[in-house]
Amino acid sequence: MSVGLKLPTSILPINGIRLSTCCANLYKKKRTDLTLIEFAEGSNVAAVFTKNLFCAAPVQIAKQHLTEYKPRYCLINAGNANAGTGEQGLLDSSITCKALANATGCKEGEVLPFSTGVIGEVLPVDKINTVLPELVENLSANSWLDAAKAIMTTDTIPKAVSKTISLGESAISITGVVKGSGMIRPNMATMLAFIATDANIRKDMLEKILLHAVNKSFNRITVDGDTSTNDSCVLIATGKARHKCIDDQSSEEYAILENALTSVFCELSQAVIRDGEGASKFLTIKVTGGKQQSECIDVAYKIAESPLVKTAFTASDANWGRILSAIGNSGINDLDINNIEVFLDNICIVENGQRAASYTEEKGSMVMLQDEIKLTVNLKRGEHQEVIWTTDLSHEYIKINAEYRT
């Protein structure tokens, strides 16, 4: 069950983007499991991928195609990760790209393949290729929500966000979908994200915005600390909006678009956490007062990925000693623990490295009962701060992952 997450509504079409979904029977049960995204000719595409060295075959193929061609399609299957499949996996991804190229008239290298699901199973190429004509025939500008559903695996709810902004006299639309629930600790989670806009922006500028947005969103979430073999995030700009091409990083238009896209990325990444496997709590971990950005991130993740801290939140147990232990194990060798402050929402639980004089167990327990909790740590050693989002660790998480293949 997701935490504070509702079914998306009012998903905006993007001029220059069409999508379709169908059932390729990649699951035992009947459901949509194959998605096609088409971009208008001339669209600029940027992408980032998992840093897992065992990256899936489609990740390897997509990276290669991006360097050699200007993509026209994303082909996404759920139910099979096509990871840990060796040379056969690479061949299978290439075969599906070639089949789609034949069905659309594009080049094989203009297709970016993506997969999500069970690792180590051979991709059922014939099932996918059989339904490609149906996918192509049913392309529509209004199928974003269908796409959000079709790319799901252990997700409980489709995740999509839309936003409209103004650039000069032009109205700019942004829409994105994401899937992800477990195996989430992007180092760009199992996570696939596809975001599109009709903004007109030079490709190198789009790539800069993507890196900024990812670092403030998908690289600031964790469910279980595991980085998937298939993580991918794609940003598409069709250039169909009627405004001057953005080609200056110092321009007001660049800043407006970067802020809007980063906002969409953050909403999507938080939706992943709100739908984290077995999640009963949505947790914001904020670390302030760091000498460097990196140490704030290290402390935040050490807390967020501690099983002891996470299970305490599941039990609504204000066991703040576990939080202190995580901070002390974060790798900051010259940390003065006597300066540390820790807050649960607005309740100070630790000051000067020990229990706050004003803190009571009753106050802490009241906060811990909430579905959404903000934990703030002040290191008091600098001006840097960072925020990440995470879940608790429940019995349901264990059940979902113990039964994943059964």
Residues identified as active-site: 190
Closest CA relative to residue 37, chosen from 130, 152, 142, 139 = 139
Long-range contacts (CB closer than 8 Å, 24 or more residues apart) made by 28-31: 31/150
Using DSSP's 3-state secondary structure scheme, residue 225 falls into coil
Q: Residue 23 is encoded by which pair of tokens?
A: 């059932």
Q: How far apart are CA 182 and CA 119, in angstroms?
A: 14
Q: Residue 249 is encoded by which pair of tokens?
A: 């990083």
Closest CA relative to residue 233, chosen from 273, 266, 199, 277 = 266
Q: How far apart are CA 117 and CA 322, in angstroms?
A: 34
Residue 288's H or E segment, with its range, is strand 282-290
Rounded (5°) CA angle 54-151-402? 60
Rounded (5°) CA angle 165-210-107? 105
Beta pairing partners, 74: 37, 112
Q: For 80-225, list the strands marked E by DSSP.
A: 111-116, 159-167, 170-179, 192-197, 221-222
Q: Please provide residue 94's backbone torsions phi and psi, each rounded to the nearest 5 degrees.
A: -65, -35
Q: How far apart are CA 95 and CA 111, in angstroms?
A: 11
